[in-house]
Amino acid sequence: MSVPQPPEPIPGARLLFSLDPAVSHLNHGSFGAVPIGVQRAQQRLRDEMEANPLRFFTQGLVDRIGHTRRHLAGFLGADPDGSALVGNTTTGVAVVLQSLGLRPGDEVLSTDHGYGAVGLAIQRECRRTGAVSRVLPIPLDATDEQIVQIVRAGLRPGRTRLMVVDQLTSATAKLFPTAAIVGVCHEQGVPVLVDAAHAPGMLATTVSSIGADFWAGNLHKWAYAPRGTALLVVAPQWRDRIEPLVVSWEQESGFPARIEWQATLDYTSWLAAPAGLFTLRSLGVDRVREHNAALAAYGQRVVGDALGVPPAQLPAPGGPGVALRLIPLPAGTALSIDAARALQTRIGARLAAEVAVMSWNGRGWLRLAGQVYNTADEYERLAARLPALLAQR
């Protein structure tokens, strides 16, 4: 089986970012990268704020936030009136969990592909309320139909108060059939929270087509917004029950203002987020998505070949457009979170390549991303040097 050809670079895309050219940045999925134009847009907003803080915070800021929210929600295919800007997906998850009114005997259901901080948030809320957290194991190679069957079998109507599922998993770079999972859960009267941290900008799916009760996604990863920009989308029947983590002056205004207004928060990241969408649209949304997915697939194959992984053993993303790919590391490598973090740091220091190293299901995994600032030779250099570094453990 031949190695897939890398996509042609998008002319000038690399120059849009201020990333260190001496480093291969192959881990866009963790913290994103903010284009220079977006950085400057946010700095202009910060300059405005610092020139007259009283006027910035008290004259029209709530309306400006609302305008930004409508712009971002429109791009994502979400109801602007049912959306609220939050700092990140994990914050959105925490808002939902503490608004449910969990009680002893209730349970929150999730999968073993879930994001670690989300799992910790579930555990904390369960400890606080007496509810129970239950995790469904799902094989990495499970088909969409198999995933839906596992979820259906795991539901306990009357006890399961919430199903938490990833749209695209962080740990395993796997696309889940979220709309089908929502359908199965709703048949049993179970609400669904979709962790869509990686969806905005990367995936073409619109929020409204999923039909979830709650959906939370970051715009500071694949939609080029400044960090600290995410959207929490809530179905109509839940909006009056959603409470902020911290009460502030817009509490009596209801959702979404009571969630968004957090006193002296630096709102410039939200206000500059439309500049990120402008950059994405200028490059061509479909063009960027196709480029990034193809480049990630190329990197997975090149590095996988270098590590002696047969193509058939390289995990498939489970759907089109995914710009994250997973590669199994040699047996005995990165078996714990601490070991994974140590290896990730060592790769960055010795190979000048920023990657994500995961420990999942008793094995270490390398996760690579594809972004417009990346080139095929960066993955090739990693492939040429990584085996020797792993042999030194």
Q: What is the pLDDT along the chain (393 residues), one digit of tens a residue?
A: 566 789 999 999 999 999 999 999 999 999 999 999 999 999 999 999 999 999 999 999 999 999 999 999 999 999 999 999 999 999 999 999 999 999 999 999 999 999 999 999 999 999 999 999 999 999 999 999 999 999 999 999 999 999 999 999 999 999 999 999 999 999 999 999 999 999 999 999 899 999 999 999 999 999 999 999 999 999 999 999 999 999 999 999 999 999 999 989 999 999 999 999 999 999 999 999 999 999 999 999 999 999 999 999 999 999 889 999 999 999 999 999 999 999 999 999 999 999 999 999 999 999 999 999 999 999 999 999 999 999 986
DSSP E strands, the chain: 24-25, 83-86, 107-111, 132-136, 160-166, 192-195, 214-218, 230-234, 324-328, 353-354, 356-360, 363-369
HEC sequence for 308-360 = CCCHHHCCCCCCCCCCEEEEECCCCCCCCHHHHHHHHHHHHHHHCEECEEEEE
Q: Which residues contact 40 (CB under 8 A, 6 or more apart)?
A: none
The pTM (predicted TM-score) of the whole model is: 0.96
C-alpha 113/C-alpha 309 separation (Å) is 22
Long-range contacts of 147-152 (CB under 8 A, 24+ apart): 147/176, 147/177, 147/181, 148/177, 148/180, 148/181, 148/184, 151/111, 151/181, 151/184, 151/185, 152/184, 152/188
C-alpha 361/C-alpha 261 separation (Å) is 40
Q: Is the dihedral of CA 273, 279, 285, 291 positive or negative?
A: negative
